Amino acid sequence: MTVTDEPTVPTLDVAAIKSDFAILERQVHGKRLVYLDSAASAQKPRAVLEAMDTFAETSYANVHRGVYTIAEEATTAYEAARARVAGFIGAASPAEVVFTKNATEGINLVANAWGRANLGPGDVVVSTEMEHHANIVPWQMLAAERGFELRFVPLTDDGRLDLAELPRLLDGAKLLTVTAASNVLGTLNPVRELAEAAHAAGALLLVDACQHVPHLATDVTAMGADFLVFSAHKMLGPTGIGVLWGRTELLDAMPPFLGGGEMIRDVRLDGFTCNDLPWKFEAGTMPIIEAVGLHAAIDYLDALGLDAVRAHEVQLSDYARSTLQGRLGDSLRIYGPTDSALRGGVASFAYRDVHPHDISQVLDEYAVCVRAGHHCAKPLMRRLGIGATARASWYVYNDEADIDALVDGLAAAGEFFGA
């Protein structure tokens, strides 16, 4: 590249992408649907729905058990999805990829299988004040039973992790469990730095990547993670399936989480022998059709390119902040870092004295879908000194017109409530 060449900035053809999502053709209250709640659950393109339908119509059977043709086709499709996930996140082997119901189940699996075997009185688990309840409550439940200590990394006033006391917090810790990207603040955390600090203290790192994997290229090795979880439904895939990735030696050493069929190699009246990885953690009939949908969702995102996805979200975040503040001024406060390079495509905000649920209800009249509430992050809400926020979150199918519709609706909400 010569000194005059500029790096190519990847772009998304949002108009073409929108046409892939049938639900975005719908009208609500006579207006086009504007979906700004992808941080809760993303919509699904036709390619994902069609992949699931085709499999269900032509090749569905239970996996790993039958030797007839469609059973073997089902097993091949299910394991192909696992291999696709492994490649997508840079796993060393598909055997490190465990399918779960969702990321919440993945964290509970680690807490119950690894945690019960390794944590007790005198031990420490470190989390942060910005975590989703799914990365707090399982550890609280286990701490109450096993008697270990929970510590939390505090936040700065601009919604970033305050790492000044991290060495002290990690002293004696066996696990640091942290979100890669906040579902409320949008904050992108320095996962590699956290991994190095955890490992230097002799602790493992568990990463909640629900808000990272759908939006940024994710490499578990580059991150330095020991465990990582995410959910398909936040990355254009179906509900009912999530992923736990763990290093082979850790998963090998962990006892099974659930007992039953499929997770065994042998069962006797006096005991059982576990199956190999990853199947020893996949008891019973798994979400087979959903695995096919997850495979298709990864194919769709790969075709778009995660660099282009990220660039689009940064551009849209810049536009959202400038437009919201330009139209609504100081009457609207967006929580979290101000630099779009440090955050994902999420904006949690307070608007005048209007309650977030009232904001959401008025926006619905304009067919604009946003989330209102504590976003499963009550400790974070208390840290912010509020009970709830309204939250808009954008993804590959959103554009500046969607942000404009949000701002128009918010202005109308302010007029409606006389705020």
Give the Cα separation of 51 and 56 in Å (integer).
Answer: 9
Which residues belong to the active site?
Answer: 376
Catalogue the long-range contacts made by 368-372 (C-beta closer than 8 Å, 24 or more residues apart).
Answer: 368/34, 368/36, 368/402, 368/405, 368/406, 368/409, 369/33, 369/34, 369/35, 369/36, 369/37, 370/36, 370/37, 370/406, 371/37, 371/39, 371/40
CB under 8 A, 24+ apart: contacts of 398-402: 398/14, 398/34, 398/35, 398/36, 398/38, 398/316, 398/345, 399/14, 399/15, 399/18, 399/316, 400/316, 400/319, 400/323, 402/34, 402/35, 402/36, 402/368
In this structure, what token pair is assigned to residue 20? 């892939």
Residue type, 124: V
385 by Cβ neighbours in 10 Å (0-12 / 13-18 / 19+) ranks as exposed
Q: How big is the chain by its Cα radius of gyration, in Å?
A: 22
In whole angstroms, give the CA distance from residue 148 to residue 125: 7
**How many CB atoms neighbour CB 144 within 10 A?**
10
Which pairing describes strands 371-373 and 34-35: parallel, antiparallel, or unpaired? Answer: unpaired
Q: 393: closest CA among 33, 41, 22?
A: 41
Burial class (CB in 10 A: 0-12, 13-18, 19+), 304: middle
Buried b (16+ CB within 10 A) or exposed e, 93-102: ebbbbbbbbb
**How many Cα atoms sit within 13 Å of 368 on the Cβ side?**
27
